[in-house]
Chains A and B, each alone.
Chain A
Amino acid sequence: MYTEEIVQKVNEFLVEEFEVDADKIKPEAVLKETLELDSLDYVDLVVVIESNFGFKVKSEDFAGINTFADFYNYITQRVEHQLQEK
């Protein structure tokens, strides 16, 4: 389960990068529709995740991410995995 800390950090860079109204970002909202992502924007999503968390998301991983809650959970798992590896 994701933490408030992850939510805050993720929302902050999504608002900054994709210039979306912060009020529109809710756990149940659909990531692609809310951020109006096209195929090129997913490349930039990979870039901002890498610059904020230091790991790279593979494009196929996005297939399992529908809502912001899914996204927070995915990031949380990857962060935990990263910590375990260290």
Chain B
Amino acid sequence: MITIRQSRNENILVFAVEGVLDIFTVDDFDAALTEVTGVQKLVIDLSAVTFLDSTGIGAILRAIYQGQDHGFTVELSGMNEEIKELFDTVGILRVLEALQKGER
């Protein structure tokens, strides 16, 4: 139900997530996340994500906070209209923006 293809280019790591990010698949995402070390930037490509709920949002937040602790930034890309709107509703984009500006 979920595949996370990882590709690394120097200091940038890309997670290309495919499928659904919910309570059933979130453990796989978290597992992949714990192995992230020694990068400056993590790009989470959501273009192949068909569905995502607040459990999935929780996982993405964890990625963002982990980046805070381990010194990498997180970039979200490829969201479809619905997911983008959802992110906006729950304020995840605002959190990212604030972190990028260096305030918290």
Q: Do A and B originate from a single complex?
A: no
